[in-house]
Homo-oligomer: A and B are copies of this chain.
Amino acid sequence: MEKVNLAEKFSRFEEHWRPKIVGEVNDVHVKLVKLQGEFMWHQHEEEDELFLVIKGRLQIKLRDGDLWLEPGELAVIPRGVEHCPVAEEEAHVLLLEPKSTVNTGNLTNERTSAAEWI
């Protein structure tokens, strides 16, 4: 059994918006992602999604007001809630999502990315 050092894992990739899997807990994947710029409005029909900011600052746009997350802050976006992540400068984020979750939720397009283990 090995531990996971988040900073070391983040050092292994550069690309944005493509989550990497670093652990699994029952039916949930622990993923790391680097974000920069604006993603797209989407929702996950069946899955809640947790964002924990490790570095930088994350804006999660919501239809009824935005959340701003700093390092050490988390938010859970419940299933069915439209959201749009934005990071003006690069942010490092830990995600918790069911293994079934696709990054673009109800959309499939050029930003859809199957997560791989690192």
Contacts and interface: CB of A to CB of B under 8 A. Distances in A.
Interface of A: 1-7, 22-28, 30, 47-50, 54, 62, 65, 67-69, 72-78, 81, 96-98
Contacts of A48: 24-26
A67 B7 contact: no
Contacts of A81: 1
B47 A26 contact: yes
Nearest to A65: B1
Chain B CB count within 10 A is highest, among A3, A68, A81, for A3
Given A4-B73, A23-B76, A25-B76, 16 more contacts: A2-B75, A3-B73, A4-B74, A6-B72, A6-B74, A7-B72, A23-B50, A24-B48, A24-B76, A26-B28, A26-B47, A26-B98, A28-B28, A30-B74, A30-B96, A96-B96
Contacts of A50: 23, 25, 30
